[in-house]
A and B are shown apart, each in its own frame.
Chain A
Amino acid sequence: MKRFWLIGLFILVVVGVIAGVILTRVQVYAAPEQPIAYSHQVHVEAGIQCLFCHPSPLKSPLAGIPSVQKCMGCHNVIDTDNPEIQQVASYYESGEPIPWIRVNLQPDFVYFNHQPHLGAGLNCETCHGDVGQMDVTRQTVKMDMGWCLDCHINQSDEKVGRLADCLACHK
C-alpha cells in the first residue's frame, strides 16, 4: 500500500514536470493576443512585400513596425467597413499608438541587430517562418541561444571567431 503511494507520487511528479515543460513550449510558441486581429496572410496574399511595412531592417537594428499613418495610407479606402479596420482608424484619429504585443522577443541582455543579418543574406523567413501563411502571427522557432549558435558557430574560420564571440550579442 505504501509502495503504491510512493510510486503514485513519483509518477505524478514526473508527469507534472513533463506537462510543465510541454506547456512552457506551448506558451513560447503561442501567438499573443493582439489588440487588433491583424492577419499577415491577408496582406502577403495581397502582394505586399515585408519591407513595405517593416522598412528598416536593412539599415537599422530593428525592422520596425508600421506607423498607424502607414496603415491608414491604404485603409482610408480599402475595407473600411471591417470593424477591425475601424478600430485602426479610431486609433489614428485619437492619435494613440496601437499597443501591439511583440511576437519575437529577445531578453534585455541580447543585442540583436537585423541589419548585419540581412547583410549576410538571410531572408526574413529564416527566422520568422512563413508569416505569409499565418493568420495570427506567432513565433515559429524558440529563439534561444542554442538556436542563435546553430548558425553563428557554423561559419568560416575567419568569421567564426567574431560571430561565436559572446560580445557579438551580449554587451
Chain B
Amino acid sequence: MAEIEPRWVLIVDLDRCTGCQACVVACQAENNVPTVGEHETIEGRWLHWIHIERYWEGEYPNIKARFMPVMCQQCTAAPCEPVCPVFATYHTPEGLNAQIYNRCIGTRFCGSACPYKTRTYNWLRPEFPEPLHEQLNPDVTVRSRGLIEKCTFCVQRIRRIEIEAHAQGREPVDGEIQPACVQTCPPDALVFGDLNDPSSRVSQLATSHRSFKLLGELGTDPGVIYLKGGETNV
C-alpha cells in the first residue's frame, strides 16, 4: 500500500490534440458505452464519456478551429457529489469522482449540477444486437436504462495494474497505468499519472506555464489539467 494515496490526474495537451476521435472510440470499446443511433443523437442523448469539442475563432478566411477533448473533470470539489441522494457518486480516497452504477437510481441531479455536462444518462435500454455483445468488456459493468454514467479514468485498468504490481510486491511505475484514451492517443496528447508523485510526468507537465483548468473560476478543482495550444513549452 502506498503511504500517500495517489491523486490521479489526466493532462490534455491541446497543442498536440488533432481531434482524431481515437480516444472517443477507444473509450467506447473499453467501457461498454452503448451507441445510441441517429435519432437519440439528434435528441442530444449521445453517451460518449469523452467527446471532442470544436471551437471556431475568427471569420473566413482568417478562421481557426481548435479542439478540446472534454471528459468528466474528476473535480476535487465536485458539484455533483453532494446532491446525490443515495451516494451513488462520491469522492474516493485517490481523488476519483466515482460513479457506482448499481447504486444509481437515476434522479439526474448530478447531471443538472455538473457545470461541464459530462455526465451521460442511459435514456433507453442499451442495445447490443448479437453477436455485438461479445465485444463487451467483462471488467466493466454493462449499464441498463435509467442511470447516469461517466468517465471513470478507466478505474478497472487502474485496479488491474495495481493488483498486478502489488502481487509482484511493487508499486505501479509512472506511465504504467493508462486509461484507454491515453493508451490510444496517436499524438500523445493525453498523459495520465499520479500528481502526488513529484517525479511523475503529470507533475512536471502540470507546472507548465501552459496549464489551465476548465472553468477554473468555479473552484471545482478538476483532476483534468489542460495545456494550452499554440505555444511553445519554453
Binding site for B on A (CB under 8 A): 59, 107-109, 111, 113, 115-116, 119, 158-159, 161-162, 165-167, 170-171
A61 to B156, CA, bound (A): 13
Instruction: Write out the residue numbers on chain A whose beta carbons fall within 8 Å of the beta carbon of B166.
Output: 116, 119
A107 to B101, CA, bound (A): 13
Q: Which of B12-20, B137-145, B172-180 contacts A (4 or more CB under 8 A)?
A: B137-145
In contact, B140 and A59 (Cβ under 8 angstroms): no
Nearest CB in chain A to that of B93: its residue: A161
Instruction: Write out the residue numbers on chain B whose beta carbons fall within 8 Å of the beta carbon of A158.
Output: 1, 3
Partner of A171, one of B3, B93, B94, B155: B155
Given contacts A108-B141, A113-B163, A171-B141, contact A166 B1 (CB under 8 A): no
Nearest CB in chain B to that of A164: its residue: B93
CB within 8 Å: A-B pair count: 52
- A116-B167, A166-B103 given; name 10 further pairs at CB < 8 Å: A108-B141, A109-B101, A109-B141, A162-B5, A167-B98, A170-B101, A171-B140, A171-B141, A171-B152, A171-B156
Place the interface of chain B in its size category. Answer: 20 to 34
Instruction: Write out the residue numbers on chain A whose beta carbons fall within 8 Å of the beta carbon of B102.
Output: 107, 109, 170
Nearest CB in chain B to that of A159: its residue: B1
In contact, B141 and A166 (Cβ under 8 angstroms): no
19 sampled A-B residue pairs with Cβ under 8 A: A59-B167, A107-B102, A109-B101, A111-B156, A115-B163, A116-B167, A158-B3, A161-B5, A162-B1, A162-B5, A162-B93, A162-B94, A165-B93, A165-B98, A167-B159, A170-B101, A171-B139, A171-B141, A171-B155
